[in-house]
Structure 1
């Protein structure tokens, strides 16, 4: 597909527009770009002529952007950032390749990190650049080659590799119980429950799996990350429904205790996800091949 030239302005004029929007004055933009104010003004005039849209409001020597131009500059900023990241990626690993990977904080730190030394030994020429993301990722607007995320492998335009089904276990600090005895799942309703934003229905689904009727909404404190809800449980603030891989050490040392006989899958899993457009990325192909050996089977045996 050939894009008409009027839709492809020069990088120099786009940088001038972005800098003026971000810094608020032509003098500041000129200083950052190592140009004169006149040169910045000429870049912007050339951009207006090329695309046929008024972008600049002029008040004497002061320049500012129209509201439409400011919105355009915000889009351009993201595009320039992607160009810069793509260039850095090419320069840093032109032969072996690199991988820009989005990860979930808890799963990345506790499941992926302990395994990465083996990958580094087997593929020393592959560079993995990692960024944490709690919310949904967007391959169209962010320069990620792949992401490790939680869900049901239904992201449009992508392929996915199952890494691990999430197995949840109710845990609390031993001191929380006092004289309360937990003999059956329904007894947990007498204790304060801790919730996490990314799994708002986790407790309801868990009680449903145990055939425990629940009237109305389950109350309790809500946390945004597993690291904070884990600390809340350790300090005796309530019962947390935690992935088993996150609490193994705390259970082994007695800092937490399990209130159910086994961890259970109540839906959802961790996946390596990548856009089909990047499936042949050299670094991704090596990472995916190695990670498939670390992943659980697609059809795990019953627990």
Structure 2
């Protein structure tokens, strides 16, 4: 039996969430299409129900307490879950929904083009996608699974290997004209574009070319492959891309491969999900589809 004292009215929580997100009652009132006095009254009601001071008042400003900061983190996650559940019911009342976290470029360039096939084969299942760069706790995030890069070492999670990463170094035609590359050592004086989450990738690439890495790396760090691709197209430096991305850019003539292509990389792509959802219907259907899809075509 849930105790109502610990379940504040949704209007109180939305007002609290808006004040925390916007940093002021005025902005929160605008966000919620309410008056400032109404928002202030909702905050006071929430404080009274919880028996806790959430804000200190200073010259008409509300300054969140430490308790408010902790409460906001939990309430924000809870509101996200409620919103996703409601969106799922509205968008797909007769079927299930699968909430996936994906790496940004992997989601747009690898997964998205394949999703129509899944949706055609599973018309009762809708998919919600959000981007995440790093691993997280499934207990505090509203996701059923994540498609990620790394190793099969998530705690208390099940793993399905998608494919090993293979890497291809790519440059623009203009860059290649200015910096002819015949041997791996020719890259030692070039600007090497490197993903933050792949600190050993260039070493692995040079090893795959049977060549030593540069004695001092001249690297530019980036946090997304999409940014790296654009930088390489602009002629800034040499991009080291997963082969599934490199093939797209090469086929469309935007980039050119350097030396040996598809060199084995330091990790793999995985589908990861909490063990408690092993038998979750939409996730089980997604696993079966992706396994069949990978068996039929090159990653």
TM-score > 0.5, shorter chain as reference:
yes
Shift of 1:248: 1.6
| Residue aligning to 1:44 | 44
Q: Return the offset for 1:7.
A: 4.7
Q: Distance in 2 between matches of 1:91 and 1:192?
A: 50
Compute the displacement of 1:38 (Å).
7.3
Query: Contact 1:159–1:275 (CA<8 Å) still a contact in 2?
Result: yes
Distance 1:254 1:10, change over 3 A: closer
Aligned 8 A contact 2:222 2:228 in 1: yes
1:142 aligns with 2:141: yes
Question: Hey, what's the Cα distance between the residues in 2 that align with 1:96 and 1:41?
Answer: 40
TM-score (norm 1): 0.79
Cα gap change, 1:53 to 1:254, in 2 (>3 Å) = closer
Would the alpha carbon gap of residues 113 and 50 (structure 1) be closer, same or farther in structure 2, given more than 3 Å must change? Answer: closer
Cα distance per residue 1:205-236 (max 9 Å; x no partner): 32244453346541133333222222332333
Distance in 2 between the 1:258 and 1:288 partners?
33
> In structure 2, what is the equivalent of residue 239 of structure 1?
238
Does the Cα contact within 8 Å between 2:29 and 2:39 map onto a contact in 1?
A: no
1:83 matches 2:72:
no
**2:294 is paired with a residue of what secondary structure?**
coil
In the aligned structure 1, how far is the partner of 2:62 from the partner of 2:188?
59
Larger Rg: 1
Which ranges in structure 1 are unaligned for 5 or more consecutive residues? Answer: none
Q: Indicate the residue corresponding to 2:68 in structure 1.
A: 70
**Cα deviation, residue 37, structure 1:** 4.5
Aligned to 2:25: 25
For the pair 1:279 / 2:278, whether they are aligned, the reply is yes
Cα distance in 2 for residues equivalent to 1:30 and 1:243: 45
CA distance in 2, matches of 1:179, 1:48: 66
For residues 156-188 of structure 1, the C-alpha deviation after alignment (integer angstroms, 9 at most, x for no partner) is 222121112110012223443448654433332
- Distance in 2, matches of 1:103 and 1:156, equals 18
Q: 1:223 to 1:26 in 2, by over 3 A?
A: closer
- The Cα offsets for residues 49-75 of structure 1, whole Å up to 9 and x where unpaired, read as 554433354689x68355134314422
What residue in structure 1 maps to residue 158 of structure 2? 159
User: How far 1:153 moved relative to its partner?
Assistant: 2.2
* TM-aligned CA distance change 1:97 to 1:211, over 3 Å: same
- Structure 2 Cα separation of the partners of residues 262 and 172 of structure 1: 13
> 231-240 vs 269-278, which deviates more?
231-240
Query: How far 1:127 sits from its partner (Å)?
Result: 1.0
2-structure distance, mates of 1:58, 1:275: 42
Q: State the aligned residue count.
A: 295
Does the 8 Å CA contact 2:20/2:64 hold for their aligned counterparts? no
SS in 1 for 2:217: coil
Instruction: Tell me the residue number matched to 2:113.
Output: 114
3-state SS of 1:295 partner? helix
In the superposition, the TM-score normalised over structure 2's length comes to 0.80
Alignment check: 8 A CA contact 1:26 1:40 kept = no
Contact 2:15 2:28 in 1 (8 A): no
Listed as ranges, the matches of 1:1-303 within 5 Å are: 7-22=6-21, 24-25=24-25, 29=29, 32=32, 37=37, 41=41, 44-45=44-45, 47-57=46-56, 64=62, 66-75=64-73, 76-178=75-177, 182-214=181-213, 216-252=215-251, 254-295=253-294
**Contact 2:152/2:159 (CA < 8 Å) preserved in 1?**
yes
What is the CA–CA distance in structure 1 between the aligned matches of 2:79 and 2:124, rounded to whole Å? 27
Uncovered stretches (5+) of structure 2, i.e. residues with no partner: none
